[in-house]
Amino acid sequence: MENLYKYFKRDISWLSFNYRVLLEADNKSLPIYERINFISIYSSNLEEFYRVRVADYRSVAYGNKEGDGSREEALQIIHEITAEVNKQLEERIRIYDQTILPELKKNKVFFYQNKQEVNPIHFPFIHQYFDDEIFPYLQPVPVQKGIIHTFLRDNRLYMAVRARRWKDFDAPFEYFTFKLPYSKVPRFIELPQQEDNYYIIYMEDIIKMNIHKVFPGYDVDGRYCFKISRDADIFIDDVISSKINMEKELKKKVKRRKMGAICRFVYDRKMPDDFLRFLTEAFQIDANELVPGDKHLSLEDLRYLPNPKKELQINEKPQPMRLNFLNEKESIFHYIRKKDLLLHYPYHSFSHFIHFLYEAVHDPQCTEIMITQYRVAENSAVINTLIAAAQNGKKVTVFVELKARFDEENNLATAEMMKKSGIHIIYSIPGLKVHAKVVLILRCNKNGQITTSYGCISTGNFNEQTANVYADTSLFTCKPAIIHDLRLLFAKLQGEIIQPVFKYLLVAQFNLVSQLKLLIHREITLAKSGKKGRIILKMNALQDTNMIDELYRASEAGVEIDLIIRGICCLIPNQPYSRHIRITRIVDSFLEHARIWYFGNNGQSKIYLGSPDWMRRNLYRRIEAVTPITDSSLKQELTDMLTIQLQENSRACWVDENLKNIFKYQPGDTPTRPQYIFYEYLKKKNHPDIS
């Protein structure tokens, strides 16, 4: 029987999300530098998207690897992506040129975009700065098709120059390229202040104004910037012999990443066609890799734009609070023995998690600490505490996921440091990525019998850097059933058992999908019997068509479903089979990262939190861990969080059947921001005497 259900394409859906990020740059209620930062985030997201997703489609389209679809389908997706990105670029240019730059100028920050704008009083400084600070680092290389082969580095900004010998108008054009020296010189140069006016200029514009000094004896015909993106994905064979050292294999492949195939060639759209044609032929760029850009590329660098005026500082974000009942003198173990604990980052201080580990270091009954590490922070307090535990005689086991994209090298280096400190390191399971965020602290009495032990299951990495930016939630508990399942999970990771049976935790590869279907079917049964069926799902992404079909069927049965999905969402709302499903997307000060699932269960709600999104990779190809929340007050806390987010209007959009971001806020509404409201909610719980 033909499946009549339809789905958004994964990557077109992601582009809709990234466009929503861009729209924050057009939000005039935000401080100007916060809006500029959203352009940076949008650009950075797009860069990674091309290096991973578009590169993957290219590999399929050109027969270098097999994918889920045909080569023709992959090529079609590339065309659709290109069309959508080009549309978004027009909007990005409009926002940048017509709203950002005028707003800076209104605040007496003049961000020069071309030579014509430069106040003549600044030319002496510009020329001297070029001579002293930039010129020594420029290394032009001639470009000759089929003769001189220049390797272009990934995600670096280059300038291409076309020139001919001075006064020799019959001489052929010569072409040169050079990498802009951002490792030596700032991208944005502050010029001398005039009265209360501030001035900034791009480094590449200073180079363009002095290009004749780089090519003496030439007439320069044109100079334009370009950059490339290379395939950054690393493929580790699903079946790897135990004889192969995955660590060494990964080190090799990380090095090869820098040599990956070109998947995007971004260029100044004002570059003449014959100039562009020469470059593409010289560097063997396929037409499908061409992406026209603005004059200034790599706008992810805007996060470093100097801010010379204090009054233009971005809004003060909620500062992490310490819980009154968990001060440094109090035992966090003692609290958890009485009651489960939820911590919400970045609203709560991540120092409480460090306190949790640190208490294990000095607990005489603590014999072993086990933890997963997916993305490891640099100079990590988490790692330093684990090292202290090992040095204090505890057995410390850390599962390090080597295949965490773009963090492979840092994870490898950190793992080596931990090994030297006596920590037992377990590396990636061949063919399987471990994405679960779990901790187990085992305690034993003098007879070696296990006593009250502690566990933590989180929606985010145990990383103090991302904990300041990502909105995540962690459960701390000593419930024997959870501790038992955590022991089974770590036994599986250590290869001690093959097929564990989890009774409490939901673990991908074992019982996660089957239990999710049972929970959805329970709501369907309630709705069909005339009772209220209710589901709220908060996560980063929803892609798996099997689970989407379950939600479609629930909607057809009358179950009311709200999805709070930040990024990819392949479910199409407002269809006959999805008329009871609404999709909310929130973009605000912090990156919404928590995965929290609510099932009404006829008034006896079931709530879960954990690491997986509903992507195929998470549900079927990774190790993920999810825990139920059983404490009634904590269930209410999470229910209140979801309610606040669904009621939000100023940073929330509906996602419609055309992947449009439809803002909830309407003229006359009182604007609400859920992250700030939830922070005040938690603050009041921490200070109940505050009215």
Residues noted as catalytic: 435
Chain center to CA of 629: 27
What's the angle, vertex CA 11, arms to CA 6 and CA 17, rounded to 5?
100
558, 622 in Cβ contact below 8 A? no
| Largest interatomic CA distance in the chain | 94
Nearest of 462, 504, 576, 673 to residue 34 by alpha carbon: 673
The amino acid at residue 109 is V
Cis peptide, bond prior to residue 346, ω within 30 of zero: yes
Tally of CA atoms within 13 A in the half-sphere of 167 that contains its CB:
1
The token pair at 120 is 């003549």
Phi, psi of 449 (to 5 degrees): -85, 140
51, 291 in Cβ contact below 8 A? no
Distance, CA of 116 to CA of 660 (rounded, Å): 38
The token pair at 590 is 């912090």
Which residues have C-beta within 8 Å of that of residue 359, sequence separation ≥ 6?
331, 332, 333
CA 408, 410, 411, 417 dihedral sign is positive
Long-range contacts of 419-424 (CB under 8 A, 24+ apart): 421/387, 421/390, 421/391, 422/390, 422/391, 422/396, 423/386, 423/387, 423/390, 423/396, 423/397, 423/398, 424/395, 424/396, 424/397, 424/398
Distance, CA of 161 to CA of 213 (rounded, Å): 13
436, 489 in Cβ contact below 8 A? yes
Q: What is 543-608 written as a DSSP string?
A: --HHHHHHHHHHHHTT-EEEEEESS-B-B--SSTTSTTEEEEEE-SSSEE--EEEEE-GGGS-EEE
Distance, CA of 665 to CA of 344 (rounded, Å): 26
Q: 528 — alpha (psi -120 to 50), left (phi > 0) or beta?
A: alpha
Count of residues in the chain: 691
Phi, psi of 471 (to 5 degrees): -90, 105
137: DSSP letter: G
Distance, CA of 625 to CA of 154 (rounded, Å): 35
Q: 3-class DSSP state for residue 373?
A: strand
What is the arrangement of strands in the sheet containing 174-179, beginning at the earlier edge strand? Answer: 141-143, 174-179, 158-165, 218-230, 262-268, 290-293
